[in-house]
A and B are shown apart, each in its own frame.
Chain A
């Protein structure tokens, strides 16, 4: 089955700096990679996703990159703000199934 690893588990950055979270996956058949943001006591919310036929996708201050050959993908947050503080999860899935496989999460703290 699929195995998704996520690093780092905790990350602290100064407000205005960039944050990068990295994930690797094991199943080369995985082709859809969403990222979720979870605030304390709430359910995860989809913030950006990427498919395997695309190398990079941007949405304002967040971007995701994908390296299919190396089987890793990353979330980049630029100009971080205190409200970016949350736990971020990466996930992987494939068209042939409905299961999503999650990383263990990264707790991001943006220091004002």
Chain B
């Protein structure tokens, strides 16, 4: 999975609790991303960050928050405001190599809210 680690692999939480998903990369990539994956819906962008201390909302940011205090870390908090948080969450990072902008993914965290 290209130097991107996500922990834990499986996470269970009670409804109404906030939960933070970890994402760390040692690839020295500038940009990092969080996607949510639901069956039959592909990958939907939650947040992305192009540099430290800066991030932008994606298509489905409501109910989520992020921080980017270090280049290698981009944690995602799923808040109690997220109405349907059970999903597979993927973290990614990207780098421009010449005329290519390559994106690499972590192994994912499956969050189940009970």
Give chain A's interface residues, CB within 8 Å of chain B: 6, 9, 32, 34, 36, 41-46, 49, 51, 89, 91, 93, 95, 98-100, 102-105
Contacts and interface: CB of A to CB of B under 8 A. Distances in A.
Contacts of A105: 40, 42
B75 interface: no
Contacts of B42: 6, 89, 102-105
A89 B106 CA distance: 15
Contact of B101 (A32, A41, A43, A89): A32
Interface of B: 1-2, 4, 6, 31, 33, 40-43, 45, 48, 50, 58, 90, 92, 94, 99-108, 110
Given A102-B42, A103-B42, A42 B100 contact: no
Nearest to B96: A95
A60 B50 CA distance: 34
Nearest to B31: A98
B97 to A, nearest CB: 11
